[in-house]
Every structure is written in C-alpha cells, then in structure tokens.
C-alpha cells in the first residue's frame, strides 16, 4: 500500500486511524504533511456518506495522492438521531434541538457538546438512552476510484462524563457488552471495537478483494 | 445486480454496452428512460478517467441510481496520442492538429473525424500507423462508491474506411492478430475483444470480488 493522505485535521481521529491502519501496513500521512493547504472543507452533506465523500475527494484533488476521509458522529435514538452529522458542532448549531446557548459557529468543544446532549436526554430512562456511533471511511484514488466503508458500534449513554480516554462523546458512551465508557476503556480496546475500527476493517477487506496493495 | 443507468446518450455505445453486459446479467437502462433530463455534461477533463468520472457522477446525482459511464477514444502514436479524449469532436476541435475545416463546435460526425485522421497520417508507413482504443468505464453507487475499469485494444490504422460495422474510427482500425477492421469484423467478435469489452470485463471482476450483485 502506498502512502495515504488523511483528509482530517482532527488530531484525535488521526491517532485512531493510524493505530488501526498501522496493523494493516498502511502508511497514513496527515494532510498538512502532504502539502495540502490549510483550508476548511464545508461539510454540507445530510449524511455521513456525503460528507466523507466530499472531504476525501477535495483533499485528493489537492494532494494528488490516495486519500482517506472519516466522517463520523453519534446517533441518539430518543432525540430522533441527533446529533448525527452535526456531532462536532452540536452545541453551536441552532438547526436541531436548539439550546439557549447555541450560536451559529464552527465546531464546538467536546465539553459543550456533551453538556447539551446530557441536558436533552437527562429525563430519559437508561434503557431508552440507546445510541450508536457511525464512521464512514472513504478512500479515493487519483483515477477517481472510490471505496466507501461504514462501521457502527451500538450502546447506551450515561448522564455524566466518565474517563479521560478517547474524545468527543466517548465519556458518555457505554458500548454493548461492556460497563465502562469509551472514555474509560483502554485505547487498544476502543480501537478494536469502535465504529472507526469496523469501518477500517471493512475498507481493508475491500482493498484485499480488489488486490490493491 | 440492480438496474444500472447508462450515462451516455450515444446509441452505438449503449448497444455495445448492453450486448456485453447482458452476458453478465446486468440490466442497463438508458439515461432518458431513467428520467434524467436531457442536459449536456461538459467533458472538461484531460484524461479518459476524468471525463468518465464526471459523466458517471453527474448522472448518478440526477438519477439517484447506480450509474455507469464510458469515456473512450482512439490514441494514435504518430500524432502524439491524438485524437485521444477529443476523439468525438476531432474534426471540429481546433485545439489539436488544427485543420482548415475545424470550427469550434460540438461533436463532429464520424466521416469528418475519419477524414481528418486520414489526412494527418497518410504519409506514415503502415508499421508506424499504430494506435489503440481506450475505454474507461466508471460505475458510481448512490453512496459515492466508485469503481473504475480501463480497457484497451491495440492495432494499426488503414487509410481508407473499410466495413459498415461499429462506429467512429472503427472502419480504420485493424486490431492486432486480425486483418479486417472493426468495421468489417462481426459485432460479436468486436464485442469480445474491444476496449469496451475489456473494460466491462474488468469492471465485472471488481464487482464480483466485492460481492456486489
């Protein structure tokens, strides 16, 4: 496998993608190290697939190299699937489940996003606080060939942050079969069962089937 | 395999694509029958891959269904690879190998294109009149997954049109190992050795490897 440019600027995502793909023998290079200018790619899509696609293609056009993008988020059942594709900007995005603190800005920080989520679901009983993380990984080749792989991990939400591992909504999410949050579980464990791990394994299988290495 | 929308409006291409893919069990639907508006997709790319990609993606966005596009052309060695991606508009495209008859218009007709090609290569000896057809087939799925397959067929050019089969430059092209042109060979034979056939077989192999059916 040649060098693969990561379209994300999110350091946490890059660390996880590298931890998982290094086991596949892939060599991931952050976009800034691949000479891609520091521009924002607007995430205008309504689905993870669409945003993942947009990011991968825009960065491939700028880098000229095989590029991988991750679009991911948390889908919470009792609030109609929010925050979904708006996960990174939940606390500042007034479009869904508006909150008195919302301002229409860029990505909000993890603490504000988690606080907003807790406020919205605090009266919902545990059994109904089901949620799943989604990751859609898109790999684009310079000739336009594009592989898309989706991964999910299902679980429940707790009402106070637990653990310092992971990022985003991880301290609130308890995966099925475990009693600790993604914030509490060791990184190696999260990276073997997470939505992102499932998506990357599925991508790897597609690459192997196509004999791309 | 579900129904696949063909992005091309070229009836000759559709007939060939259907003849080949029907053996794979694919069901091809012309774009107008899939409710796609009759718009022109500008072929602004510099490569077959790029143009094939643009057509497949634009028509997929309009149809919402799995879409297949073919970008193809003739690459003639002694004139630096012309007409290449300009094959369909060679006689009206003043950008390469300008000719007194060129006007900057849409696609030119087969007779004018063949005449221009003959004028350009008429003093080149047969052994040096080598050429190859290229077809790049792009298949796009609604989630953005995109498969790209290239097929080629190599041969020589003759200096007068022979045969009424095929279309485009076929009456001038003698594939390696044969002594008749694509215009003279039976359609079944052309459709088993052509650039388009090779690309579609390669696409079929990719689909099978990914277990898409």
- The CA distance from B185 to B179, in Å, is 9
Counting one residue from A and one from B, how many pairs have CB atoms under 8 Å apart? 37
Catalytic residue among A32, A38, A70, A71: A71
Q: How far apart are CA B64 and CA B46, in angstroms?
A: 27
Residues of A with Cβ-Cβ distance to B61 under 8 angstroms: none
- R_g over Cα of chain A: 17
Query: Which of A155, A141, A115 shows the shortest CA–CA distance to A213?
Result: A141
Give the gap in angstroms from C-alpha A167 to the nearest C-alpha of chain B.
27
> Which is catalytic among the residues B32, B38, B70, B71?
B71
* Confidence (pTM): 0.83
Inform me whether the C-beta atom of residue A148 falls under 8 Å from chain B C-beta atoms. Answer: yes
Q: Given an 8 Å threshold on Cβ–Cβ distance, is B144 in contact with A143?
A: no
Interface check for B148 against chain A (CB to CB < 8 A): the answer is: yes
Q: Is the CB of residue A61 less than 8 Å away from at least one CB of chain B? A: no
Please enumerate in sequence order all residues whose Cβ is within 8 A of that of B107, keeping only pairs 6 or more positions apart, or say none: B88, B89, B92
Q: Strands, E, within B108-170: which ranges? A: 130-140, 146-157
* Separation between Cα atoms, residue B57 and residue A16, nearest integer Å: 31
* Longest alpha-carbon distance in chain A: 52
Is B143 labeled as catalytic in the residue annotation? no
Q: Select the residue of B144, B147, B210 nearest A53 (Cβ to Cβ).
A: B144
Virtual torsion, Cα B171, B176, B178, B181, nearest 10 deg: 0
The 3 state secondary structure assigned to B23-66 is HHCCEEEEHHHHCCCCCCCCCCCCCHHHHHHHHHHHHHHHHCCC
Closest-approach residue (CA) in chain B for A139: B145
Query: DSSP per residue over chain A, as a string?
Result: --EEEE----HHHHHHHHHHHGGGT-EEEEGGGGT----------SSHHHHHHHHHHHHHHHH-S-EEEEEEEEEEGGGTT-BGGGGGGGGG-TTSS--TT--S-SPPPHHHHHHHHHHHHTTS-GGG-EEEEEEEEEEE-TTS-EEEEEEEEEEEE-SS---SSSSTTGGGEEETT-SS-TTTS-HHHHHHHSHHHHHHHHHHHHHHHTT--
Q: What is the pLDDT of residue B102?
A: 60
Contact assessment for residue A195 and residue A74, using Cβ atoms and an 8 Å cutoff: no
Q: Which residues of B touch A141 (CB under 8 A)?
A: 148
Q: What per-residue confidence (pLDDT) applies to A121?
A: 97
Q: What are phi and psi of A150, to 5 degrees?
A: -110, 135
Token pair in block for residue A24? 């596949």
At residue B159, the pLDDT reads 98
**What is residue A106's predicted lDDT score, i.e. its pLDDT?**
65
Name chain B contacts of A55, Cβ cutoff 8 Å: none
Cα separation, B71 vs B76, whole angstroms: 16
Residue of A nearest to B54 (CA): A144
Convert A73-88 to b/e letters by CB count within 10 Å (16 or more is b).
Answer: bbbbbbbeebbbbbbb
Residue from the list A49, A53, A144 with its beta carbon closest to the beta carbon of B148: A144
Which residues in chain A come in under a pLDDT of 70? 1, 101-106, 213
Q: What is the pLDDT of residues A154-187, one digit of tens each?
A: 999 999 999 999 999 999 999 999 999 999 999 9
pLDDT digit string (tens) for chain B, length 213 residues: 678 999 999 999 999 999 999 988 899 999 999 999 999 998 889 999 999 999 999 999 999 999 999 999 999 999 999 999 999 999 887 767 777 666 655 677 999 999 999 999 999 999 999 999 999 999 999 999 999 999 999 999 999 999 999 999 999 999 999 999 999 999 999 999 999 999 999 999 999 998 876
Which among A50, A53, A145 is the nearest to B147, CB-wise? Answer: A145
- Chain A residue with Cα closest to B206: A210
């Amino acid at each position: 496998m040649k060098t693969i440019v990561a379209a994300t600027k999110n350091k946490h995502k890059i660390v996880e993608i590298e931890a998982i793909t290094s086991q596949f023998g892939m060599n991931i290079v952050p976009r800034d190290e691949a000479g891609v200018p520091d521009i924002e790619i607007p995430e205008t899509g309504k689905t993870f697939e669409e945003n993942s696609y947009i990011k991968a293609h825009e960065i491939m056009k700028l880098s000229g190299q095989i590029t991988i993008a991750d679009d991911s988020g948390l889908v919470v059942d009792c609030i109609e699937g929010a925050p979904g594709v708006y996960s990174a900007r939940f606390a500042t995005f007034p479009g869904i489940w508006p909150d008195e603190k919302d301002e229409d800005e860029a990505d909000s920080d993890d603490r504000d996003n988690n606080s907003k989520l807790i406020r919205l679901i605090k009266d919902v009983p545990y059994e109904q606080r089901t949620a799943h993380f989604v990751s859609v990984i898109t790999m684009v080749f310079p000739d336009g060939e594009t592989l898309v792989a989706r991964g999910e991990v299902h679980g429940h939400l707790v009402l106070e942050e637990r653990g310092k591992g992971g990022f985003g909504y991880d301290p609130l999410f308890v995966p099925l079969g475990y009693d600790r949050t993604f914030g509490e579980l060791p990184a190696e464990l999260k990276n073997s069962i997470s939505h992102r791990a499932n998506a990357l394994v599925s991508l790897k299988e597609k690459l192997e089937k196509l004999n791309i290495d």
